C-alpha cells in the first residue's frame, strides 16, 4: 500500500506532468484536425499533414533553423569548452575578471540589447569590409555568441569536480599537455559537452528576438515565420510542424536513454563476471 | 653455517657508507616557496641506485612537495635536482625518466586496466605487439591478469593500487616515486602489500622514493629513512639507526614511543656519561659519550620495550627507579605498563605476553622496580 506521503508526491507529479504535457498532446491532436481554424475541432483528417510538404516557406524555414542550430551548437561547444577550461584552470591571470564578465554577460543581457548591438556590429562590419551579408551567417554568429556562454558555464562547473591528478598522471607517463587535454580531459568531461551541445542547439532553434534583429530579408528562421504567421492567423500546418519536432526530440531522447541504459547494463554485467 | 641477518643479506651493500659511491639522485639545497611560505627549506639528500628510500614526516612537513619536485610538477625556488647525473631544471614531467604513483592512484576512469597500463608505453611510440607483451608481463607480476578488461570503478582498493603500481612500473623508469602508496588500504592488506611491494622492487631493481607518514611502514620497507619536519630533514639513516640512535627529541618521539626525561650532565668521559635526573630520582649511567659540556641540560630517552619491571630490587647501583603501576594496557601480544615514578613522572614499559592467559606479572597499584641497561638510554642534546 502507498502511504500518505508517497500518494501526495504522486499526485503532485501527475499535476506537474499534466501541466507540461497536455499542451503538447493537444498540439499533436489538433494537427489531425480537419478545420481551418486552429482552435476549433471539426473532425479527424490527415489534410494538414499532406499539405505541410507543399508549404515550401515553412519547410525551408524549418530546415534553415535546424542548420543554424547545428552549426551554432557545434561551434559554441568548441569555443565554450576552451573558455570554460580557461576559467576553471587559470585562477589568476591579467584580466580574468574582465574575461569572466565578457563570457557570462550574454547570460544576463536582455535579448533585445544583444540583438540590437549585434545588428549594429554587423551593419558596420558589412559597410567596412563587405562581410557578413545578413542572413544565415549573421544569425549563426549571433547565436554562437550567446550560446557559447552557456557551454562555458557548463564546462566550468564540470571541471570543478575534475581530478587534476589525472592530467598530472598522464603527463608523468609521457603525454604532452595538448595530448593530455584531448586524450584524458575531453573524454572524461564529454557528457558535459554533449549537454552543452544539446542546450546550444535548443537555444538556437528557439531564438526569436536576436534572429529577428540580425537576419536578412532572404533568410527566415522558423520562430520568425511562426511568429509572423500567428499575427496573420495561425495555419494548422504549424501544429503538424510542432508535432514533427516533438516527435524528433522524443525519438532522440529515447535513443539516448537506451544507449545509456545499455552501457549501464554492460558495465554491471562486467562487474558481475569479469 | 653463518647466520646472516636477513635484512642485511637482502641489501648487503650500503652505498651511503661508501664515500666513493656515486648518488643516483642528488637533491642539492632545494628550497620551495609558496608565496612567502617555505614548504621545503634547504634540503640536501643523496639517494643511491636500488634504494627504497622513505620520506617520513607529519602532515604538512613538505614530503609531497619534495616528491612533486622530483616528478617535475613543481620547480624548486632554489637549489637543483640531479637524476643519474642530469640536472632536471627545465625538464618537464613528460620528459623525465621518472614515474609517479599517485596517492589517489589517478587511474583514468574511461580506460580499462589494460589501457591504463599501456598508456605510458603508447606515449613512447612502442610497437603494438611489444606494448601488449609488456602489459601482459606486468599484469602477471601484480597478479591482475584476470582483471585486464575491467574499468577502475569495478576494482577494489587493493586492486586499484596494483594497477597504479603496474602503470608506473611498466615504463621501467629510473626512479619510481610513490606518494603514500598504501594509505588507502586497510591495515591487514597494507601489511601484506608492504612485503609485496618490497619483493617487486627487488625484482625490477628500480630505485623507489616513497612518501609516508606511517612510521611502521617506513621502518618495515625502507633501506633508509629521511625524517622531515616543517620542510627540513631532521635525520637520515637506516631504520635501525633512526630507531636506536635518534639525533633529536623530535625523531625519538616521532619514531615509536619513548620515555623522555630531563637531566643534567654531571660526568662526561669518552666511554660513558653520568646524568643526574631528578625525574628518575637519581643518576643514570649511559655507556656512550656525548658532545656536551658537563653541567649542560640534556634529555634522556628510553624505549618502553627496553625497560625491565620487577617486584624486587634488581642488582646494580645505576639505572634503577621505583614507581607504582597506574595503568596496564593489554594489547594481545604485549602489555603496556604505565608506572608513576616517585617524582610524579610517568614511565611506560612494554612487556611481551609470553604465556597465554597468564596472570599478569604485575598488577594495578603495585610498587615495582624499573631498570634498564646502560646501553639502552639515549642522551639527546636537542
Ligand atoms: N600549491 C601550494 N600552494 C601553497 N602552499 C602549498 C602548496 N602545496 C603545498 N603547500 C603547503 O606546503 C606545506 C607542505 O605540503 P605537503 O603537501 O608537501 O605536505 P605533506 O608532507 O605531503 O603532508 P601530508 O602528509 O598531509 O600529505 C603545507 O603547509 C601546504 O599547505
Ligand atoms: Mg602529502
Assess contact for B182 and B194: CB atoms under 8 A: yes
Contact A171 B92 (CB under 8 A): yes
Is residue A58's pLDDT more than 50? yes
Tell me the domains of chain B and their CATH numbers: 6-97+173-250 (3.40.50.300), 258-380 (2.40.50.140)
d(CA B166, CA A248) in angstroms, rounded, equals 47
Is residue B12's pLDDT more than 80? no
B63 lines ligand 1 (CB under 6 A): yes
User: Who surrounds ion ligand 2 at CB < 5 A?
Assistant: B 64
Contact A176 B94 (CB under 8 A): yes
Is residue B353's pLDDT more than 50? yes
Q: Cell numbers of B165, please?
A: 603500481
User: What residues in A contact B176, CB-CB < 8 Å?
Assistant: none
The pLDDT assigned to A266 comes to: 63
Question: Does residue B27 or residue A232 have the better pLDDT?
Answer: B27
User: What residues in B contact A166, CB-CB < 8 Å?
Assistant: 106, 108-109
CA of B64 to the centre of ligand 1 (A): 7
Q: Determine contact: B109 vs chain A, CB below 8 A.
A: yes
Is residue B29's pLDDT more than 70? yes
The pLDDT assigned to B19 comes to: 85
B312 lines ligand 1 (CB under 6 A): no
Of B296, B310, B248, B242, the closest CA to residue B268 belongs to B296
Q: How far apart are the first and last CA of chain B?
A: 44
What average pLDDT score do residues B167-177 get?
Answer: 93
Architecture of the A56-234 domain: Orthogonal Bundle (1.10)
What are B71-93's pLDDT values in tens digits?
999 999 999 999 999 999 999 99
Closest-approach residue (CA) in chain B for A184: B108
- The total of other beta-carbon atoms located within 10 Å of residue B78's CB is 14
- Domain positions in chain A: 56-234
The pLDDT assigned to B189 comes to: 84
The pLDDT assigned to A271 comes to: 55
Instruction: Mean pLDDT check: name the lowest of B116-130, B276-290, B300-314, B336-350.
Output: B276-290
What average pLDDT score do residues B307-327 get?
Answer: 90
Which residues partner with A3 through β-bridges?
A: none
d(CA B224, CA B7) in angstroms, rounded, equals 12
What average pLDDT score do residues B57-82 get?
Answer: 94
User: If contacts are CB pairs under 8 Å, which of residues 136-155 in chain B contact chain A?
Assistant: 146-147, 149-151, 154
The pLDDT assigned to B3 comes to: 41
The pLDDT assigned to A268 comes to: 65
Highest mean pLDDT among A104-113, A198-207, B116-125: B116-125
Query: Which helix (DSSP H) or strand (DSSP E) does residue B80 occupy?
Result: strand B78-83
The pLDDT assigned to B2 comes to: 41
What average pLDDT score do residues B315-333 get?
Answer: 89
d(CA B60, CA B40) in angstroms, rounded, equals 10
Amino acid at each position: 500500500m502507498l502511504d500518505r506521503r508517497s500518494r501526495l508526491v504522486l499526485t503532485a507529479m501527475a499535476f506537474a506532468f499534466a501541466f507540461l504535457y497536455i499542451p503538447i498532446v493537444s498540439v499533436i491532436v489538433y494537427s489531425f484536425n480537419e478545420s481551418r481554424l486552429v482552435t476549433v475541432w471539426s473532425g479527424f483528417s490527415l489534410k494538414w499533414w499532406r499539405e505541410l510538404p507543399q508549404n515550401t516557406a515553412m519547410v525551408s524555414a524549418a530546415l534553415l533553423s535546424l542548420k543554424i542550430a547545428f552549426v551554432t551548437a557545434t561551434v559554441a561547444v568548441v569555443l565554450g569548452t576552451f573558455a570554460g577550461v580557461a576559467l576553471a584552470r587559470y585562477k589568476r591571470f591579467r584580466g580574468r575578471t574582465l574575461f569572466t564578465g565578457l563570457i557570462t554577460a550574454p547570460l544576463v543581457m536582455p535579448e533585445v540589447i544583444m540583438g540590437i548591438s549585434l545588428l549594429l556590429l554587423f551593419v558596420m562590419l558589412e559597410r567596412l569590409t563587405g562581410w557578413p551579408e545578413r542572413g544565415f551567417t549573421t544569425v549563426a554568429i549571433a547565436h554562437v555568441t550567446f550560446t557559447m556562454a552557456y557551454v562555458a558555464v557548463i564546462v566550468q562547473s564540470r571541471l570543478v569536480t575534475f581530478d587534476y591528478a589525472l592530467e598530472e598522471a598522464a603527463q608523468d607517463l609521457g603525454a604532452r599537455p595538448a595530448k593530455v587535454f584531448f586524450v584524458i580531459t575531453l573524454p572524461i568531461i564529454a557528457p558535459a559537452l554533449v549537454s552543452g551541445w544539446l542546450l546550444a542547439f535548443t537555444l538556437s532553434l528557439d531564438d526569436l528576438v536576436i534572429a529577428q534583429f540580425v537576419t536578412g530579408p532572404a533568410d527566415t528562421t522558423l520562430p520568425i515565420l511562426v511568429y509572423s504567421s500567428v499575427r496573420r492567423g495561425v495555419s494548422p500546418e504549424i501544429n503538424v510542424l510542432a508535432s514533427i519536432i516533438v516527435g524528433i526530440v522524443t525519438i532522440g531522447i529515447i535513443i539516448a536513454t537506451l544507449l545509456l541504459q545499455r552501457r549501464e547494463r554492460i558495465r554491471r554485467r562486467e562487474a558481475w563476471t569479469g | 653455517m653463518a647466520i646472516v641477518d636477513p635484512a642485511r643479506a637482502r641489501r648487503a651493500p650500503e652505498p651511503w657508507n661508501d664515500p666513493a659511491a656515486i648518488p643516483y639522485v642528488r637533491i642539492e639545497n632545494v628550497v620551495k616557496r609558496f608565496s612567502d611560505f617555505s614548504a621545503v627549506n634547504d634540503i640536501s639528500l643523496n639517494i643511491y641506485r636500488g634504494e627504497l628510500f622513505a620520506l617520513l614526516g607529519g602532515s604538512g612537513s613538505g614530503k609531497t612537495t619534495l616528491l612533486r619536485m622530483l616528478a617535475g610538477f613543481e620547480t624548486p625556488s632554489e637549489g637543483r635536482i640531479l637524476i643519474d647525473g642530469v640536472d632536471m631544471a627545465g625538464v618537464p614531467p613528460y620528459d623525465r625518466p621518472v614515474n609517479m604513483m599517485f596517492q589517489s592512484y589517478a587511474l583514468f576512469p574511461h580506460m580499462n586496466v589494460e589501457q591504463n597500463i599501456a598508456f605510458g608505453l603508447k606515449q613512447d611510440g612502442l610497437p603494438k605487439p611489444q606494448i601488449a607483451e609488456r602489459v601482459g608481463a606486468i599484469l602477471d607480476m601484480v597478479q591482475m591478469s584476470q582483471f585486464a578488461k575491467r574499468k577502475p570503478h569495478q576494482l577494489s582498493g587493493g586492486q586499484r593500487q596494483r594497477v597504479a603500481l603496474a602503470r608506473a612500473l611498466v615504463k621501467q623508469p629510473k626512479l619510481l616515486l610513490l606518494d603514500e602508496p598504501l594509505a588507502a588500504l586497510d591495515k591487514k592488506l597494507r601489511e601484506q602489500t608492504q612485503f609485496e611491494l618490497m619483493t617487486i622492487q627487488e625484482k625490477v631493481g628500480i630505485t623507489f622514493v616513497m612518501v609516508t607518514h606511517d612510521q611502521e611502514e617506513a621502518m618495515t620497507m625502507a633501506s633508509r629513512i629521511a625524517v622531515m619536519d616543517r620542510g627540513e630533514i631532521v635525520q637520515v639513516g637506516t631504520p635501525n639507526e633512526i630507531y636506536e640512535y635518534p639525533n633529536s627529541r623530535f625523531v625519538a618521539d616521532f619514531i615509536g614511543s619513548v620515555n623522555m626525561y630531563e637531566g643534567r650532565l654531571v660526568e662526561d668521559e669518552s666511554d660513558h656519561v653520568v646524568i643526574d635526573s631528578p625525574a628518575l630520582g637519581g643518576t643514570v649511567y649511559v655507556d656512550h659519550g656525548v658532545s656536551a659540556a658537563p653541567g649542560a641540560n640534556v634529555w634522556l630517552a628510553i624505549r618502553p620495550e627496553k625497560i625491565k619491571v620487577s617486584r624486587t630490587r634488581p642488582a646494580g647501583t645505576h639505572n634503577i627507579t621505583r614507581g607504582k603501576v597506574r595503568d596496564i594496557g593489554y594489547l594481545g601480544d604485549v602489555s603496556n605498563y604505565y608506572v608513576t615514578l616517585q617524582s610524579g613522572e610517568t614511565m611506560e614499559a612494554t612487556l611481551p605476553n609470553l604465556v597465554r592467559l597468564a596472570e599478569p606479572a604485575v598488577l594495578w597499584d603495585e610498587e615495582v622496580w624499573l631498570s634498564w641497561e646502560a646501553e639502552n638510554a639515549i642522551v639527546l642534546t636537542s
